[in-house]
Amino acid sequence: MRDFHVPGRSGTYATNAICATSHPLAAKTAIDILERGGNAMDAAIAGAVLLGFCEPQMTGIGGDCFALFNTVGDRTIRALNGSGRAPAAASAAALRAAGHQAVPLHSAHAVTIPCAIDAFCRLADDHGRLGLDALLAPAIRYAEEGVPVAPRVAFDWPRAGKALQGHGITHFTRGGRPLRTGEIFRAPGQAEVLRRIARNGRTAFYEGEVAEDMLAALRAANGVHEATDFAAAASNYTDPVSGDYKSATLVEHPPNGQGATAILLLNILSHFDLAAMDPLGAERLHIEAEATKLAYDARNRFIADPDHTTRLDHMLATDTAARLAALIDPKRAMKAAQPLTEAVHRDTVYITVVDRDRMAVSLICSIFHGFGSGIASEKFGILLQNRGAGFTLEAGHPNELAGGKRPMHTIIPGMLTEKGRVTMPFGVMGGAYQPAGHARLVSNIVDFGMDVQTAIDAPRAFADPAGLRIERGFAPDVARALADLGHEVIVPPEPLGGAQAIRIHESGLLEGGSDARKDGCALGY
């Protein structure tokens, strides 16, 4: 039980349905959809689209998404890959010849075809109840009337806004300056796009005037995108990957998402008695940091487009984890693997919903870095993601940029099951941090018996090539002890990511947790 003398928040409890996400308006919208007779999928889609206007630096209709979900009366967890592909004419060799070592972050070369809209349309048609017009109505209203900028969004805007260029500056600043807390952000052009999608489905986005608007912006930035690339955009269903950790099973979206990294990380940690350690102590942080370095090295070598990921079984094998665990020195830090992409960023939104029939949806969407590529279309103000920066330019690498390929993705929805029953849909935002965040959240619950909100609130650490980033929530002696073990300890200016989760108790009780590192909440009824 939390100490009520100390500032914090309690978990949210409900018996019918619940939503946890990173902005209150999106959580309320999800609950409204459920009370109108929609199911968890309807609610998650409505909330996710709205988040693009509540947190425009994080996500939007110019980005991608992934989802895990189950259907009523079926314990099977299904996955939907809503990530887009590089344009057919994309070429790593051409970028290498131009002198690039990596895909330029804020260029048309980093723009893959946005696939979230196709995914939302597919999920609504296949698994929703209310229809796309009802699900998009709240986002249309808020895009036109405007959303007050929340404190965390205002905190992110100056840093993220540096990426904006051209029409991006026009649509996402006030005459070139970032929006401030309480100012109203409006996106009437995107409202019109959503209105057309509500009437005509995905073709209203991927063909015709809206697609031409995006193409014009890309061509002006020397992109190689064609109308056929947009028309061909398609999400697809796939099977999750999973791994056991003590009493629980972690279920993740398969590559090109990096969820397998979280499974490998927990497999490595299973060789250490974390439960005997101080949950906020240096010993646990050191072991987690070393396991993270090893798991991320495997991620960098193996995870790519599903058609190019060939060693996934090896990555998830228990023997692999045992060999890696044996490399960890409890008394000394090793160097971290160099990342394929920028080590840490925070530009992702996550929503989870469980309905009265116990359909559970875990959905995550993003435009990658803050304000994505910074490139927005002129008429409709669609901000385009820079997911193509997740490719490598290394010749012959499974994740090498090529036409029609999907890049390695950082965003990962998660689910926990116990004895075959879905017990917790959850997500941890924060770019590359996410697998480490998944593993830490699961360990907080399984090893230390924390409730959902406490597990989310607990301070975080993340080992990347720059050093071991630790939040200010750890005691000063922890930082000193980690430094003595050889870690380059860094206290970052921003917190590490954010998290949302819903615990489904065996009794049927729903327990929601929402991260105070974001502006959101868990709401239920």
pLDDT at 2: 77
Check if the beta carbon of residue 441 is closer than 8 Å to that of residue 459: no
In sequence order, which ranges of 326-470 are alpha helices (DSSP H)? 434-446, 452-457
pLDDT < 50 stretches in the chain: 340-345
Token code pair at residue 488: 């380059």
Shortest CA distance to 115 belongs to which of 330, 406, 339, 344? 406
CA–CA separation, 213 and 204 (whole Å): 12
Task: Please write the tens of the pLDDT for every residue from 75-86.
Answer: 999 999 999 999
Contact criterion met (CB below 8 Å) for 291 and 269: yes
Cβ-in-10-Å burial (0-12, 13-18, 19+) of 186 comes to: middle
Alpha-carbon 197 to chain mean position: 24
pTM given for the model: 0.96
C-alpha separations of 503 from 74, 101, 209, 507 in Å:
18, 44, 44, 11
Judge whether 470 and 491 are in contact, CB under 8 Å.
yes
pLDDT digits 0-9 by tens, 255-268: 999 999 999 999 99
Of 250, 259, 210, 225, residue with least CA distance to 81: 259
Give alpha helix (H) positions in 303-416: 312-316, 318-325
Give phi and psi for 64, each to the nearest 5.
-120, 170
Look at residue 339 in the predicted model and tell me its pLDDT: 57
Residue 59 is classified by DSSP as -
Residue with tokens 């927005």: 376
pLDDT at 343: 42
Q: How far apart are CA 465 and CA 335, in angstroms?
A: 7
Tokens of 119: 């995914």
Give the strand order in the sheet containing 12-14: 12-14, 510-514, 498-504, 421-429, 414-418, 248-252, 241-245
> Read out DSSP for 417-441?
EETTEEEEEEEEESGGGHHHHHHHH
CA–CA distances in Å: residue 40 to residues 78, 184, 375: 14, 29, 33
| Cα distance from N-terminal residue to C-terminal residue, the chain | 22
Do 49 and 133 touch, CB atoms closer than 8 A?
no
C-alpha 500/C-alpha 518 separation (Å) is 10
437 forms beta bridges with: none
Q: What is the DSSP string of 258-290?
A: SHHHHHHHHHHHTTS-GGGS-TTSHHHHHHHHH
Q: Looking at residue 347, what is its pLDDT? A: 65
Question: Would you say 143 and 190 are in contact if contact means Cβ atoms under 8 Å apart?
Answer: yes
Beta bridge partners of 383: 376
At residue 348, the pLDDT reads: 86
